[in-house]
Amino acid sequence: MTVAAETLRGRWSFAKNQDIALALCVIAILGVLIIPIYTWMLDLLLTLSISVSVIVLLMTIYLQRPVEFAVFPSLLLLLTLFRLSLNVAATRLILRDADAGHVIRAFGGFVTGDSYVVGIVIFTILVVIQFVVITKGATRISEVAARFTLDAMPGKQMGVDADLNAGLITEEQARARRRAIEHEADFYGAMDGATKFVRGDAIAGLIITLVNIVGGFFIGMLVKGMEIGDAARTYTTLTIGDGLVSQVPALIVSTAAGLIVTRTASEENLGADVATQLTRYPRALAVGAGLLVMLALVPGMPQGSFLIIALVLGVLAYQAWQMGQRKIVAEEAARAVEREAEAKEAPERTEDLLTIDPLKIELGYGLIGLADSRQGGDVLTRIQIIRQQMASRMGFVVPVVRIVDNMRLRPNEYRIRLREAEIARYELMPDHFLAMNPGLAEEDIEGIATREPAFGLSATWVSRAHRDRAERLGYTLVEPSAVLATHLTEVILAHSAELLSRQDAQNLVNHAKTASGAVVDELIPGVLNLGEVQKVLQNLLRERVSIRNLETILETLADFGPRTRDTDVLTEYVRHALARQITAEYADDEGALHVVTLAPELESEILEAVRAGDTAAFVPIAPARADAIARSAVQAVQPLIMAGQEAVVLTSAQARRFFKRIVERQLPRMVVLSYNEIDPSARLESEGQVSA
């Protein structure tokens, strides 16, 4: 029996059934609106209402941030409904029995002094204080706070993205800060509506009181046969007591609402902040004490009261002055310790100068606004998006891109550095748009002629005044920040192999090990070492082949690694395994792959020229002959380019990498595929041939 009781008590503990308890409370509140209750029960519920209101007020004093009490808007609605239900229950008892329990009778007698006229005046004053002062002010502050919080959300989100992109915070910290911003906006939006409940509660209390007085007066005279004076005294006293019992908790809760919406974020509670900030300037307290002493000397003034308050202010001023002196001494000591620590760490910090950034963007002073979110710049957000796109598209994480200003550059010029070596440079016009003709615009647009930095296309810088006309003519307009972001994307794609360090390769392998631990354990270090795996991944990235399918890549290396450790040969095997992925990259929407093929005699010439070196095979072809082959390739793929298709050359598996080496210096974007890299389901359409 004891075991069963303990089990039942454990199952129905409050901590485990909070949702059920709240649901029962809400149902009970609604039940009080309909079901008559006894006077002793009404006394208990009124006491509970006052107690909960006081607890809520005290909690708001100890808050450090308003969002810590995020449940307050919903709690405000429940407390308002609870008080109104008690109003209805008290009204039922007053009008039916001319008795509403000891609590209401005590409030009606003690607070009013057995004078219902005094009670009416006090009740009216409480309603005015709540409705005109506290509720109106809290409602206005809630509206302003909600509007400003919602308006500030985009800027706060951009600030989080900027810190994340700069490496100041982690992804988890960024998600936590975004959730905090969303919770803050939701809280102030809910408070904007919740304060309307307080206002409605005040109006409802006033109406209920008037109805009770008039209704009780007629019921006492017509139903219960009371005298006019007795009916007025009895029902007015009870009604005023009911109104006071309801308005006191309402005033407390509305004060709590006002404290919450006026509370700013702090490291301390409200009491500590008030004490600290009021005593921050001892001179103000001392001057106030002196002024009170002067007023005490005026004839007719209550000298005792003024002198007591002056003494209290003087003591507070002295204590605040002593505290300030101790704080100054502590700050000086802390600064001395900090200077000593900096002096000790100075030799170690010199080593930080040896660290270089994998990627860096240097901006002229005219472009600093593009990276400043406070000025509307979105470059940091675009860079974060680029890093995410590279992770999903190419399968590797781009290192953090550092953005610095460089006064030696021209005002509107930027420079991209790869491990401190310059790899790209361009000059923007921040107050213009880059207009490019997609082939539909037949009329020239007025502006400054230039070349688009990412692809070298002809373009024109168009002023904002000519923006609408350029759009009507069919030009594609690009913002300066988007120009920089597109240029950076192409630079990253072109140098992705150099960006993939050995540590990055190790991180990718560690990530793959969580899902494919067996293949990683088999491959490294038994078959290949990490450096050889890195070289294969770099070879793939160099030709813009995504390494996101790392599991297939590692399995292929584990299969063919025992046969050869030539990373170029292993790369070809991996490309064969990624045939479906590679084909889908260059096929059109109908699944057709448009290619030009390599003439058999040229392919034979290349294979016959291959020589084996100490580390890898190479093709010793004369520069003039290599130029001729490249020109022939350009002529062959020209129809594909004119048709808006990828320039793809198809060769045998043996000749693919050697032909790519011959033409890549002059044609770095040319795609060279082998027959083994074509998905069997793809439809090949030959558009020409690269002849000898």
Least trusted range by pLDDT, from 283-287, 453-457, 520-524: 283-287
Residue 340 counted as domain residue? no
- Based on the fold, state whether residues 504 and 475 are members of the same structural domain: no
Cα distance between residue 241 and residue 120, in whole Å: 10
pLDDT-derived band of residue 415, with 50, 70 and 90 as boundaries?
very high
Rounded Cα distance, 448 and 453, in Å = 15
Provide the domain limits for residue 239: 19-273
Residue 95's contacts (CB-CB under 8 Å, 6 or more residues apart) are: 212, 215, 216, 219
pLDDT at 2: 45
Using the 3D structure, point to which of 544, 577, 610 is the last residue of a domain. 577
pLDDT score of 265: 55
Q: Is residue 74 located within the same domain as residue 207?
A: yes
**What per-residue confidence (pLDDT) applies to 414?**
92
pLDDT, one tens digit per residue, over 265-289 is 555 566 666 666 666 777 777 887 7
Whether 91 and 167 share a structural domain: yes
> Looking at the predicted structure, is the pLDDT value of residue 203 above 80?
no
d(CA 361, CA 359): 7
Tell whether the model's pLDDT for residue 405 goes beyond 50: yes
Q: Radius of gyration (Cα) for the chain, nearest Å?
A: 40
Element (H, E) at 360: strand 359-363
3-class SS of residue 362? strand
With a cut of 80, say whether residue 67 has pLDDT above it. Answer: no
302 and 390 in one domain? no
For residue 294, being part of any structural domain is answered with yes
Q: Pick the more confident residue, 224 or 121.
A: 121
Q: Are 83 and 173 within one domain?
A: yes
Contact 112, 122 (CB under 8 A): yes
Q: How far apart are alpha carbons 367 and 406 in whole angstroms? A: 10
Examine the domain organization and report whether 105 and 139 are in the same domain: yes
Q: How confident is the model at residue 409 (pLDDT cuts 50, 70, 90)?
A: confident
| 418 assigned to some structural domain | yes
Average pLDDT over residues 601-629: 77
Residue 142 binned pLDDT confidence (cut-offs 50, 70, 90) = low
pLDDT top residue among 283 and 522: 522
User: Has residue 115 been placed in a domain?
Assistant: yes
Q: 479 near 435, Cβ under 8 Å? A: no
Determine, yes or no, domain membership for 346. Answer: no
Instruction: With a cut of 80, say whether residue 518 has pLDDT above it.
Output: yes
What pLDDT shows up at residue 112? 60
Question: What are the pLDDT digits (tens) for 558-580?
Answer: 899 888 888 888 988 998 999 89
Residue 436 maps to a domain: yes
Residue 474 near residue 441, CB atoms below 8 Å: yes
Flag whether 8 is in a domain.
Answer: no
What are the pLDDT digits (tens) for 656-689?
A: 888 888 888 777 788 888 888 888 888 888 888 8
Average pLDDT, the chain: 79
Average pLDDT over residues 203-224: 71
| % of residues, the chain, pLDDT over 70 | 80
The total of structural domains in the chain comes to 5
Enclosing H/E stretch for 363: strand 359-363
Give the burial class of 267: count Cβ atoms within 10 A of its Cβ; 0-12 exposed, 13-18 middle, 19 or more buried. Answer: exposed
> Is the domain of 629 the same as that of 658?
yes
131 vs 74, 198, 201, CA distance in Å? Answer: 20, 8, 9
Asked if the model's pLDDT at residue 10 lies above 70, the reply is no
Is the Cβ–Cβ distance between 314 and 286 less than 8 Å? yes
CATH number (domain holding residue 573): 1.10.8.540
Sheet arrangement for strand 413-418 = 401-405, 359-363, 413-418, 421-427
Local structure of 419: helix, strand or coil? coil
Q: Give the domain CATH number at 416.
A: 3.40.30.60
Pairing of strands 617-618, 611-612: antiparallel
Q: How far apart are CA 310 and CA 308, in angstroms?
A: 5
pLDDT band, residue 8 (cuts 50/70/90):
very low
- What is the per-residue pLDDT for 229? 66
Peptide bond connecting 525 to the previous residue in cis, omega within 30 degrees of 0:
yes
636 CB burial (10 A radius; 0-12, 13-18, 19+): buried
Instruction: Give the range among 168-182, 332-346, 619-633 with minimum mean pLDDT.
Output: 332-346
Q: What mean pLDDT is predicted for residues 418-438?
A: 88
Structure tokens at 292: 């009170």
Q: Is the pLDDT of residue 11 over 60?
A: no
**CA of residue 63 relative to chain centroid, distance:** 24
Residues 510 and 488 placed together within one structural domain of the fold: no
Same domain, yes or no: 510 and 524: yes
We report the CATH number of the domain holding residue 629 as 3.40.50.12790
464 lies in some domain: yes
Q: Beta-carbon neighbour count of residue 393 at 10 Å?
A: 13
- Please say which residue of 520, 552, 577 terminates a domain: 577
User: DSSP letters of 433-499?
Assistant: EEEE--S---S--SSEEEE-TTT--EEEEEEGGGHHHHHHHT-EEE-HHHHHHHHHHHHHHHTHHHH
- pLDDT greater than 80 at residue 508: yes
Last residue of a domain, one of 221, 251, 273: 273
Q: What is the pLDDT of residue 31?
A: 79
Q: Pick the closest to residue 98 from 246, 233, 247 (CA basis).
A: 233
Are residues 324 and 459 both part of a single domain?
A: no
Q: What pLDDT, on the 0 to 100 scale, is given for residue 151?
A: 67
- Same domain for 119 and 203, yes or no, is yes
In this predicted structure, what is the pLDDT of residue 299? 78
Find out whether 554 and 520 touch, Cβ atoms under 8 Å: yes
Lowest-pLDDT range, 27-31, 147-151, 398-402?
A: 147-151
Judgement on whether residues 102 and 218 belong to the same structural domain of the protein:
yes
What number is the average pLDDT over the span 413-427?
90
- What pLDDT score does 535 carry? 92
